[in-house]
Chains A and B, each alone.
Chain A
Amino acid sequence: MKKERILPSSGPSLRQKLSWLATGLVVLILLAVNIGVYRGAIDFYFSGVLVIAWINVILAVSLNLINGFTGQFSLGHAGFMAVGAYVSGLLTIHLDWPFPIVLLAAALVSALLGFVIGLPTLRLRGDYLAIATLGFGEIVRVVLLNLDITGGPRGLGGIFPKTTFFSAELVAILTIIVIWNIIRSSHGRAFVAVREDEIAAEAMGIDTTLYKVLAFSIGAAFAGVAGGLFAHHQMFIDPRSFTFQRSIEILVMVVLGGLGSITGSIIAAVVLTILPEALRGMAEYRMIVYALLLIGLMLVRPQGLFGTKELGDFLGIARVRWIKARQPAAGVLKSHGGDGR
């Protein structure tokens, strides 16, 4: 975990100065936005958009852990989000637990479900896994439609608006820190090893099933938290909020930012949340733009904007040796031979 020293003795290099500048800029923008929201300079509507942006950051970063770092292609993220949203919403309505506890419960239930679903389905590979997780997401939606306690197709209303800009921000930053640290731990290297070559990883003594299920459950937990924040922001949830389209939207963020790049996911999530608001008039073209984005990216730059690199890599900070390793840029997208089983 050594940082690469570019110029060992003489003062800070241009790169380091640039990186400090960039870091400073990000902190400054964040600060300005925070003060703006706090003082009411940013109106209610736009601060609502920013809450959604933070929620999308959580979703994208957690999906990246599964799809990008561990290389397991999941299309069911909206399903876990739905579970978190409903669990937390119901807890708030019926038991009125404190918000942090409610979010924790949402995380726990989603993680548990992720574990239960992951254990059998993660034996599948690549496209089969994608379809199985997609199926899981649909099953969740159908179950929500049919249960009485969830209000069925009428949805669940009257959830207290407990999510604020600051709580969403706090949770998002916590998510980023936790996942960042996981990736940079020995467990994180195990995830990447599973992605790069499952058989080799197994030969190195990595329990691949364990790590796949672990990544899946952790990702599910954070999706559940994001669902909880979402429910307490919208105050009303129904199964239509968690369709397959939602999973695809999250996937677009991850793919655009780069499978295996946390900063990429963050930037893509923020941009793809705020941009459609800026282009209000083109709302009906949004999904078409998403579709073209997906196709174009795969044709031109299948590794996404950042590939497996982080923002810092471009500027020279926090360059970690193992990630710099000579893997092909599209290492994440490595195909598995065989027939997908």
Chain B
Amino acid sequence: MQEVVQQLVNGISLGSIYGLIALGYTMVYGIIRLINFAHGDIYMIGAFVGYFAIRTFHLSFLPALLAAMAVSAVLGMVIERLAYRPLRNSTRIAALITAIGVSFLIQNTALLAWTPDPRSYPDVFPLRTYEIGGVYVDNRQIAILGVALVLMVVLHYIVNYTQIGRAMRAVSQDADTARLMGIDVDRVISFTFALGSALAAAAGVLVGIYYNRIDPTMGTMPGLKAFVAAVLGGIGVIPGAMLGGLVMGIAEVAVVALTESTWKDAVAFAILIVILLVRPAGLLGRQVREKV
């Protein structure tokens, strides 16, 4: 029983990281129906910015986190402006191919600039482990959960209680009508990218602290898994992304605990294929009939 609870704690830590990345996917997909392949690489950039902020500029945890989020938000907006906006009216496959291209560009530039060797993340707070009824929780896990929770609340507030949030929801329902209502759709999309990228960057810094190692290809797998999490929760649905992330994290930890850890990467995609076949709208999504 203790073992189960312990794995659950680990799974939730991992899952909230997936959830943070998945939020960016789900918001972007909700608004412009694009799988932003480069999202995982923005998460990687976030981790590296945090790394340099701490190592080179000697910032403490929170300022480094904010710096990473800010830089990534700008990066996300720049990518959207240069690569995706010109393709706004072209086909979804063309946009998808471009997104794959952007992802490769970022990743390979990072490989050149920072070498493929993994780096160990600076110790911002010394590891402290608490025992609660036989279950071990360390302060890094608490930090992950805390940051994820705060960001979720902030996001929830922005999306539901601010003007820009209302605009985002309007654009995701119907971009053309939103434009007719006087909403600056381009600005809303730009803001969405910034928001999603900032969340991914936060996840990147948290992962760096949690696993204590980062490298330029670290974004690919979590990026894909977070996308699966977004689909699992129902793409375009914000609470769904968090739920999907948690389910993915727990499933992955369970697989590692039960079998060999090398299988864990296959689980995500197995979940994806099953969910797409059984309930393509995701756990919290609404089933929409195809209209001819």
Shortest Cβ distance from residue A33 to the other chain B in the assembled complex, whole angstroms: 31
In the complex, the answer to whether B97 meets A298 with C-beta atoms within 8 Å is yes
A270-289 residues with Cβ-Cβ distance < 8 A to B are 284-285, 287-288
Shortest Cβ distance from residue B2 to the other chain A in the assembled complex, whole angstroms: 29
In the complex with contacts A131-B272, A199-B292, A294-B98 CB distance below 8 A: yes
In the complex, the answer to whether A143 meets B83 with C-beta atoms within 8 Å is no
Indicate whether B24 reaches chain A with its CB closer than 8 angstroms: no
In the complex, the answer to whether A298 meets B94 with C-beta atoms within 8 Å is yes
Indicate whether A211 reaches chain B with its CB closer than 8 angstroms: no
In the complex, the answer to whether A288 meets B96 with C-beta atoms within 8 Å is no
Residue of B104, B105, B262, B288 touching A339 (CB-CB under 8 A): B288
In the complex, the answer to whether A340 meets B92 with C-beta atoms within 8 Å is yes
Q: A313 contacts which chain B residues (CB < 8 A)?
A: none
Size category of the B interface is 35 or more
Shortest Cβ distance from residue B285 to the other chain A in the assembled complex, whole angstroms: 9
Residue of A136, A248, A336 touching B104 (CB-CB under 8 A): A248
Shortest Cβ distance from residue A297 to the other chain B in the assembled complex, whole angstroms: 8
Shortest Cβ distance from residue B68 to the other chain A in the assembled complex, whole angstroms: 23
Q: A330 contacts which chain B residues (CB < 8 A)?
A: 90-91, 94
In the complex, the answer to whether B104 meets A138 with C-beta atoms within 8 Å is no
Indicate whether B291 reaches chain A with its CB closer than 8 angstroms: yes
Residue of B91, B262, B277 touching A120 (CB-CB under 8 A): B277
In the complex with contacts A146-B260, A341-B280, A302-B90 CB distance below 8 A: yes
Q: A134 contacts which chain B residues (CB < 8 A)?
A: 224, 269
Q: A251 contacts which chain B residues (CB < 8 A)?
A: 97, 100
Residue of B103, B107, B262 touching A146 (CB-CB under 8 A): B262
Q: A17 contacts which chain B residues (CB < 8 A)?
A: none
In the complex, the answer to whether A138 meets B109 with C-beta atoms within 8 Å is no
Given contacts A127-B35, A294-B101, 19 further A-B contacts (CB under 8 A): A121-B273, A128-B276, A131-B224, A132-B276, A135-B228, A139-B269, A199-B292, A284-B112, A291-B101, A291-B103, A294-B98, A295-B83, A295-B102, A298-B95, A330-B91, A330-B94, A339-B33, A340-B33, A341-B290
- Show 18 A/B contacts (Cβ-Cβ < 8 Å), sorted by A: A121-B277, A123-B277, A127-B33, A128-B276, A131-B228, A131-B272, A135-B272, A136-B269, A142-B265, A146-B260, A288-B104, A291-B108, A293-B101, A295-B101, A299-B87, A299-B98, A333-B94, A338-B291
